[in-house]
Structure 1
Amino acid sequence: MNKQQLASKIWDSANKMRSKIEANEYKDYILGFMFYKFLSDKEQKFLQEQDFTQADIEALSEQDTESVDYIKGSLGYFIAYENLFSTWLKKGNDFNVANVRDALSSFSRLISPSHKKVFDGIFKTLETGLSKLGDNSNSQTKAISDLLQLIKVIPMSNKQDYDVLGFIYEYLIGSFAANAGKKAGEFYTPHEVSVLMSEIIAHHLKDQQEIKIYDPTSGSGSLLINIGSSVAKHMNDANRIKYYAQELKENTYNLTRMNLVMRGILPANIVARNADTLEDDWPYFDDNDPINTYEPLYVDAVVSNPPYSQAWDSANKESDPRYARFGLAPKTKADYAFLLHDLYHLKPDGIMAIVLPHGVLFRGGEEERIRKNLLENKHIDAIIGLPANIFFGTGIPTVIIILKQRRQESDVLIVDASKGFIKVGKNNHLQASNIKKIVDSVLQRKDIEQFSKLVSLEDIRKQGYNLNIPRYVDSSAKTETWDIYATMFGGIPKKEIDAYAEYWKAFPELRKDLFTDSDTPYVDLATSEMGNAIYEHANIQTFKAQFNTAFAHFHDYLKAELIGKMQTLHIAQQENILSQDIFKRLENIPLVDKYQAYQALDDQWQSIAGDLEIIQSEGLNAAKIVSPHIITKKKDGKEQEVQDGWEGYVLPFDLVQQHLLIDELTALQAKERALTEASSDIQTIIEELSEEDKETLLNDANDAFVTAAITRVLKQAFEDIETPEIRAINQLLELLANKAKKPEQEQFVRVHPEVQWAKIEAKKDGTYAVAKVKAYLKTLQAAFTFEEDSLEAKLLQVEDLLVQEKELKAEIKADTNTLHLLTKTTIEALESAQVLELLEAKWVTPIVSAILALPNEVIEHLTDVVQALADKYAVTYTETTQKLTEAEHSLASLIDDLTGDDFDLQGLAQFQTLLKGA
């Protein structure tokens, strides 16, 4: 399984296992055990690298103080053999919840003093929550054993595994958040929002070699981690990033620390704190040595998603250096208190991003004063309006505010990104293309119609320092208007055609050829073959040729980048390299949305990046690995994991079949089509049956024939068949039943020349056996042709189709299994050149195909636009009214032919009068 499949599998299982435990609470248990497994596996790997034998490892205990000190000095903690995660698994039925309690207690005692702040109390939430996993020791043990079995497959031993582990960790956090409702906001920022903030900050920090980043409301730590990942794209040594985190809730604070450690971040680069950010600012010293450790916290970047509009204690905060310059946030809304706290901790060249409710842009009172001071001191760099319903547990609109400690300019870039999203379940999500467009607009500080605007401080002053986004950027959809003249008399208004000026600029001759020339403000379509006129037009052909020229060698470029450099390319940076090339190719191409092209790249990138990680860490031969495909099945009321065939570790089976086993695949697909056609023909006949026949011939669900019923109806039908020959044969059978002698049979033959006697096998003495006569009778019946649309003809067809369906199903099952196993052996025997060809087909071809389809999408949209304009006024109101009047008069004349009593006729007369308009 890839990391997406593994994460999904673990989530599905965990969600079932949690039973009645709240999702927000259960996450602490599964994530806690994941972290313990991580530390346990890390220690085992370290010991193996230090040449500890298995016997040495099994002998490790607290009593071996020399080894304990050595391991603690290297890792920061020590876990005895009996407490290792792998040892728990080996215990089998002997495992008990007490083993976990003892292990967690021992861990707390055996932390190195140098790592106390990273590891101290990190398992407290898990330790105190074990009792909630069951009513007694047995049920707790069962629940924990199930969890251990669930997470034991997660790899945690190398750099690539950090990515898998981190992906699963965040996937689970996000999934639990989605199920936790309003409680989710306390610990989770949606991944795409986190990435958006991180990309903006990373660009600002890209030239720095040592970086400090800080999240004062760290939650799960995902914001910090994503900034680190984004910044690392521009650095050669990710270990030169230091992470500062502060979180109020202890269980969430533990999540932060676990998440940071599991991402492979050095403990020395993690400084986390469990405290109230607003009440207890970051300590400037170590409590144990306040004089020699005095160090104010100033960082290169701050990122935060604080709780929205919560109450806070602002008493006696006027002199607090965080707020003294700008003012105090109101007691009922701490939004600006968090913002000013973040700003205070920035270095002079620092940058920050904070998520806040939309109200901070326009609310009055103290918030307006703070906003004014921030603007006048040039701190606010950009405001990004996000889609509503993007955060779990709240549907309120939110904004990201980008601030800098020191800016030369006083203008503010305002971005309305509220309309760019896709719907996923109940929530709205930003796509990669949405994020890219927002980031580009912020970094380039450019105006984009209905999206972004660079606003001067002077304009903001005129608005009373109100930053409400609609005052500056109008992203609302244009209201459709109707031209009164065209509505009454027809024609297409030129002003409505003018609204699509970008198309006519790109295709100047097309407009003249599509519409008639007119001195009035109205024109008509110049052709009835509008679609062909557009697609075949010289301007369109030039546009397509221009696009194709720009991307003429794009496939070769991608192949050289991804296939040629797969072992050495920087995975984190490569998507940006490819997108820059795509954007450059599109520079002089009108109408094609470069962000749509970027989305085509990103749609494939996660899969490509995952493959590259595998190949760079395991080599090209990893593409020749085939793994068991595991599914969950119920057996004896219990769900069990069983193998269901095989799957490629890197190369999908269907890809290999399409390229190397096409003959076998084509043959199988032909049988599958034949089966589909047979099944479709059967369904067609079912639909044609009368209700009475359905009751007789179909199952209770009325969706399939009952074979016995078909046989019974056809048998009766054959028995009822009457032809001269069949009648004579039935008479012969009656004679034979009455023991007719040879002379009597010979006489019967002479008087019935209508029977083809030569086709009935006779005995040596010339007489006939009953079995042979009956066999011939069946032959005659079978050869009888029923009327084409008769029930009998349909049932005979169904009989043949059912036989065909059964045979095809058996053949398809056998052929599918044969092809599956052949694919397995084919992958395992691939030559390196074949692997590269298949990777090219998997990575390069889909991107190229998606991007080369973009010009046609532009043309199709233009065709729809022109057709809509033509249809809009194709039928005038005058014509509609005239047809309605004609229909009313026609109906009125029909009333004369109706009869009824006096009251009916009076009513009809009045209705007739209304119809005639009298």
Structure 2
Amino acid sequence: MCVDLFENLILHMNKQQLAAKIWESANQMRSKIEANEYKDYILGFIFYKYLSDTQVSFLIEQGMTPDDIKALAEDDTETVDYIRREKGFFIAYDNLFSTWVDSSTEFDESNVRDALSAFNRLINKKHKKLFEGIFTTLETGLSKLGETSGKRTKAISDLLHLIKAIPMTGNLGYDVLGYIYEYLIEKFAANAGKKAGEFYTPHEVSLLMSEITAHELKHKDEIEIYDPTSGSGSLLINIGSSVAKHAKSKDDIKYYAQELKQSTYNLTRMNLIMRGILPDNITTRNGDTLEDDWPYFDETNPQETYQPLYVDAVVSNPPYSQKWEPENKENDPRYARFGLAPKTKADFAFLLHDLYHLKPDGIMTIVLPHGVLFRGGEEGEIRKQLIENNHIDAIIGLPANIFFGTGIPTVILVLKQKRENNDVLIVDASKHFVKEGKNNKLQDSDIKRITDAVINRQDNAKFSKVASKKTIQENEYNLNIPRYVDSSPAAETWDIHATMLGGIPNREIAALKEYWDALPELLDALFTAKSSEYSELAVEKSQVQATIALHPQLLAFIQAYKQAFEGFDEYLKNTLIEGWANVNRNRQQAQLSIELFKRMQPIALVDKYQAYQLLSDQWQIISADLEMMQTEGFDATKQVDPNMIIKKVKGKETEVQEGWKGHIMPFELVQKNYLIDDLNELKMQEDKLSEVVSTIDELIEYFKEEDDSVLNDNNDSFAKAGLSLAVIDAYLGINSEEIAALNKYIALLDNKAKVDEKLAFIAEYPQVQWHQMEASKNGTYAKGKVNSYLKMLRAEFSFDPETIEGKVIKASKLLDEQAELKADIKEKALQLHINTKSTIEKLSDDQVNTLLELKWITPLCDELASMPSAVVNRLTTKVQSLADKYAVTYSKVANEIQTSENELAEMMDQLTGNEFDMQGLAELTKLLKGE
């Protein structure tokens, strides 16, 4: 792909499109390099660009000119010390990312090595721990980018130009860099197999843990959060983002992160720094969490000054069931109170470490395998002590196959140091997910459903249960989720009485209690009593849907639903369109959900979380548009961008422009509302073409059987030459002196006749209307002109459409019509495209607002409005299924079989045959009669 074209294209994308494009290109570039390794190169260079760009931005803010920046060098000690003091690092002009990608400079891989070495040397002492060795993984891995210096230089240069145009800063939280970084980490994790678990917690799991934690901490002004197995740092960052929605300032959040593996530790630091977190608010450590406790106050002398740090929240996703060394740790204050986890499984060691570092009012969430809920031995004793000491607040069972690199089901444990209640909320969310590729994924509505259950400590059938300490004690401290929440679907049962004698069991009708509670009169309209325990349909089965849909209570239910959402579209319009500039995108979805749930609160039968998912899906579109509008201004809505696609040119994939696309406004939406006549005209021609193609396909099927000489070698289309000959043959039998004379003239032309010979022929055949054709300068007629005239003459003759000649002529005319339609459609589509571009660029502000309403609000309101119809359909299906289940009784089937057997036996009495046939028939008759 052409790098320059990519750089131009990248300027016209929102962050979702940009992230996807960079991933696609990076994945092509990595060739045979493992995804888990290649991530270190691209993420490392993105981080270096971030540092370079932030230093340049800082210097411009300080009043430096481009020439001043060009003069930046290590020998200017005063400037170097100032920048190091303010930023924590210094990068000379020659080592800036922007210098590397400047077309006027000559780039070599040695530039990168020299720059990374200089960076490490020039870190400010105060921030040495934060920055030192942060590029080690990138530096040591450069050699894998090519066998020779030239190949490595090209590979690095391509990578630098790929990320060159990523914006690093922006207005109103336009966090493009952070989004792209997280996106790439997730994509690399999905491609890294088992190694993914070393550095990535899926965003949805991270978000779920963050929302639970943030709610607990929302009353605090200053917050400290800690992840002892930080991986890429995404868990910390997401918790920070969720907490920041409630905090007075994001600068009042302090982050502590520890990670064992060096390359992953570097990811943690990069990710935290690039989110704009103040360096003084980031404390990190590369070390073994279980072997050496951390964090503590004075790290320089841990043996003599050990004072552990207690934080507001701990979040972690440690390696599952990892081996560890518990020997000599009996007196470790982290474990002394509850005991040591077994040597083969460190799960509880990580949990106890997290719990130890919580403040008295702190909260922790940790992801662990299901075994921690029920395994015995040392783990069973630890679990018992945690329950007796009232630390376990909630358990959330997650779906299987939700993490990259492992398919095992996992749980999130929520623990607190001090709690007022002594029960445990148990949530089984294992059935709540959508399939995405090879993995399962929590939807926004699933996260919301779980979070609400945890925050409100709800009992929900087949989903969540508040288990008392007494119940848990009776279960011998076994917390296995199925003991408390049965989320499995009800087993199908069959009533023997109803199966034999008919009727619908009342208990199976009562299983639809939620519908009858909301619509009690509908029950009597649908069923009538057959006996004290059985009922039957009160209407014909074909009338079930109409009976439900037209019932007064159902109509009243729909009306109440409509009233609940009356004015919702205006509320959305005022909030999102009229007030677009002031929308806080980080908090707006939560505010919209509050409004949505408030309106749905009195409505039964409609799942509010399904409605929330509709809102969430639409919010992704709205938020992306708002992000561009708030960053680029309102005129971004009137902007069109080149539509770039990848095409193969001379065997090489190249990015080329194919028309235009709306920066925010979809072409199709604009056409439907402001160019509808042109759109309908194009659609009419496309429909005509579709009919023509369909008829041609029918004729091809005909000729496959009758005469495939007019078809190509694959028999899937007409052969032009073969069809032309068939047309000529069809017209040969036409008795016309003029046509016969013209055919002779063409033969004369084919024999290279001289001009005087042709003129003599023309004079000899006055019956030909020669004046109907355009003559050449010498008075003769060219073959093409003659053939066109012949075609016109032949067209005046009609053939029986059922004959092969008629179908040949029809096929020829249809192919001509097809070509004309294609040309016309191409021209009309191009003109519509041009008109759409012009229309978008000339939109008035009022027209933009109308289109935004149609794009953002109308789809959501339409989907919400259709939800009662889904209730009708679900109930109809359930009632009809009940009726079908017992519609045919076993007794009826048995009687029908017996009747059929008797009738067959009587018919066999009338059969004749030889002696052996009759003996066989006699035996079969006995069998049928049961003798």
Q: TM-score, normalised by structure 2?
A: 0.90
Change (3 A) 1:774 1:610: closer
Counterpart AA for 1:561: T
Number of the residue aligned with 2:621: 607
Deviation (angstroms), 1:886: 6.9
Give the Å deviation of 1:678. 2.5
Q: Given the alignment, which residue of 789, 811, 815 partners 1:802?
A: 815
Alpha-carbon shift at residue 788 of structure 1 (Å): 3.5
Asked if the contact 1:115–1:267 (Cα under 8 Å) also holds between the matched residues in 2, the reply is yes
Match of 2:693 among 679, 682, 688: 679
Classify 1:304/1:535 alpha carbon distance in 2 versus 1 (closer, same or farther; 3 Å).
Answer: same
Work out the number of aligned pairs and report it.
895
Quote the Cα distance in structure 2 between the aligned partners of 1:262 and 1:898.
93
Residue 391, structure 1, aligned to residue 403, structure 2? yes
1: distance between equivalents of 2:434 and 2:624? 24
Deviations 1:34-53 (A, max 9, x none): 11111111122222222222
Deviation at 1:659, TM superposition (A): 2.5
The verdict on how the C-alpha distance between 1:691 and 1:569 changes in structure 2, with shifts beyond 3 A counting, is: same
Query: 1:349 offset after TM fit, Å?
Result: 0.2
Residue of structure 2 aligned with 1:150, choices 157, 162, 185 = 162
In the alignment, what sits opposite 2:308? 296
Q: Cα–Cα, structure 1 residues 882 and 519, in superposed 2: closer, same or farther, change >3 Å?
A: closer
Q: Which runs of 5+ in 1 are unaligned?
A: 739-747, 750-756, 764-768
Per mean C-alpha deviation after superposition, the further-off stretch among 509-518 and 581-590 is 509-518
Distance 1:735 1:136 in 2: 73
The yes-or-no answer on 1:839 pairing with 2:852 is: yes
What is the alpha-carbon distance in structure 2 between the residues aligned to residue 834 and residue 857 of structure 1? Answer: 34
C-alpha deviations, 1:550-580, integer Å up to 9, x for none? 1111101111111232222322111111111
Counterpart check, 1:253 vs 2:270: no
* CA distance, structure 2, for counterparts of residue 736 and residue 591 of structure 1: 81
Matched to 1:297, the amino acid is L
Alpha-carbon distance in structure 2 between the residues aligned to 1:77 and 1:122: 12
User: What is aligned with 1:632?
Assistant: 646
SS in 1 for 2:656: strand
SS in 1 for 2:349: helix
Match of 1:164 among 167, 176, 180: 176
Question: 1:817 aligns to what?
Answer: 830
The letter for the 2-side match of 1:797 is: K
CA–CA distance in structure 2, aligned partners of residues 82 and 356 of structure 1: 48
Q: Percent identity?
A: 60
- Aligned mates of 1:570, 1:762 — CA distance in 2: 75
Query: In 2, are the aligned partners of 1:133 and 1:143 still within 8 Å (CA)?
Result: yes
Deviates more, 1:282-291 or 1:191-200: 282-291
In the alignment, structure 1 residue 219 sits paired with structure 2 residue 219: no
Distance in 1 (alpha carbons) for counterparts of 2:843 and 2:269: 44
Structure 1 counterpart of 2:509, which letter?
I
Q: Deviations over 1:451-477 (max 9, x none)?
A: 000010000000000000000000000
Aligned pair partner of 2:680 in 640, 654, 666: 666
- The residue that corresponds to 2:20 in the other structure is 8
Q: Is the 8 A contact 1:218 1:224 kept in 2?
A: yes
Q: CA shift at 1:485, angstroms? A: 3.1
Instruction: Identify the residue that residue 385 of structure 2 maps to in structure 1.
Output: 373
CA RMSD, Structure 1 to Structure 2 (Å): 3.4
Partner of 1:110: 122
CA distance in 2, matches of 1:838, 1:733: 62
Please tell me whether residue 42 in structure 1 is matched to residue 32 in structure 2: no
Report the Cα offset of residue 881 of structure 1: 4.8
1:619 Cα deviation from its structure 2 partner: 2.5
Distance 1:663 1:71, change over 3 A: farther
Pair 1:632–1:729, CA change in 2 (3 A)? closer
Deviates more, 1:778-787 or 1:489-498: 778-787
Residue 200 (structure 1) aligned with residue 205 (structure 2): no
Amino acid at match of 1:449: A
Compute the displacement of 1:805 (Å).
Answer: 2.5
- Residue number in structure 2 paired with 1:275: 287
Q: CA deviation at 1:373?
A: 0.4
Residue 403 of structure 1: aligned partner: 415
1:91-130 → structure 2 map (5 Å cutoff): 91=103, 94-130=106-142
**Cα distance between partner residues in 2 of 1:518 and 1:584:** 42
Helix, strand or coil at the partner of 2:399: coil
| Contact 2:329-2:335 within 8 A present in 1 as well | yes
**Residue 22 of structure 1: how far off its partner (Å):** 1.1
Which of 794, 799, 802 aligns to 1:786? It is 799
User: Which residue does 2:361 correspond to in 1?
Assistant: 349
User: 2:201 is matched with which residue?
Assistant: 189
Unaligned runs of 5+ in 2: 1-12, 749-764, 774-779
Counterparts in 2 of 1:214 and 1:783: CA distance versus 1, 3 Å: same
Query: What are the equivalent positions in structure 2 for 1:714-729 lying under 5 Å apart?
Result: 714-720=727-733, 726=736
For 1:249, give the aligned amino acid. Answer: K
Task: Give how far 1:84 is off.
Answer: 1.3
C-alpha separation between the residues in 2 aligned to 1:248 and 1:84?
30
Check 1:206–1:761 CA distance in 2 against 1; reply closer, same or farther (3 A cut).
closer
Partner of 1:849: 862
1:594 aligns with 2:623: no
CA displacement at 1:736 relative to structure 2: 14
Counterpart-to-counterpart distance in 1, 2:428 and 2:873: 28
Aligned equivalents of 2:295, 2:545: Cα separation in 1? 70
Q: Does 1:526 align with 2:533?
A: no
Shift of 1:296: 2.8
Deviations 1:146-168 (A, max 9, x none): 21122122111225676211111
Note the C-alpha offset of 1:733. Answer: 8.7
Is the aligned partner of 1:70 residue 2:82? Answer: yes
Residue of structure 2 in register with 1:866 after alignment: 879
| Secondary structure of the structure 1 residue equivalent to 2:362 | strand
Q: Which residue of 647, 666, 679 maps to 1:652?
A: 666
Residue type at the aligned position of 2:869: N
Report the Cα distance in structure 1 between the residues aligned to 2:200 and 2:710, rounded to whole angstroms: 58
The 3 A distance-change label for structure 1 pair 445 and 909 is: same
Paired AA for residue 536 in structure 1: L
When residues 643 and 869 of structure 1 are mapped into structure 2, their CA distance, relative to the original with a 3 A threshold, is same
- Structure 1 residues 774 and 316, CA gap change in structure 2 (3 angstroms): closer
Q: TM-score, normalised by structure 1?
A: 0.91
Could you say if the C-alpha distance between residues 796 and 543 of structure 1 is closer, same or farther in structure 2, counting changes exceeding 3 Å?
farther
User: Quick one: structure 1 residues 496 and 53, their matched pair in 2 at CA, closer, same or farther if it must change by over 3 Å?
Assistant: same
Contact persistence 1:156–1:162 (CA under 8 A) = no
**Contact 1:760 1:773 (C-alpha < 8 Å) held by counterparts:** no
C-alpha distance in 2, partners of 1:25/1:588? 54
Alignment CA distance shift 1:380-1:774 (3 Å): closer
Is the 2:741–2:768 Cα contact (8 Å) retained in structure 1?
Answer: no
Matched, 1:713 2:723: no
Matched residue SS, 1:384: strand
In 2 relative to 1, CA 911–683 (structure 1 residues): closer, same or farther, beyond 3 Å?
farther
Residues 43 and 784 of structure 1, relative CA distance in 2, 3 Å threshold: same
- DSSP 3-state at the match of 1:347: strand
Distance 1:662 1:347, change over 3 A: same
- Report the AA paired with residue 80 of structure 1: A
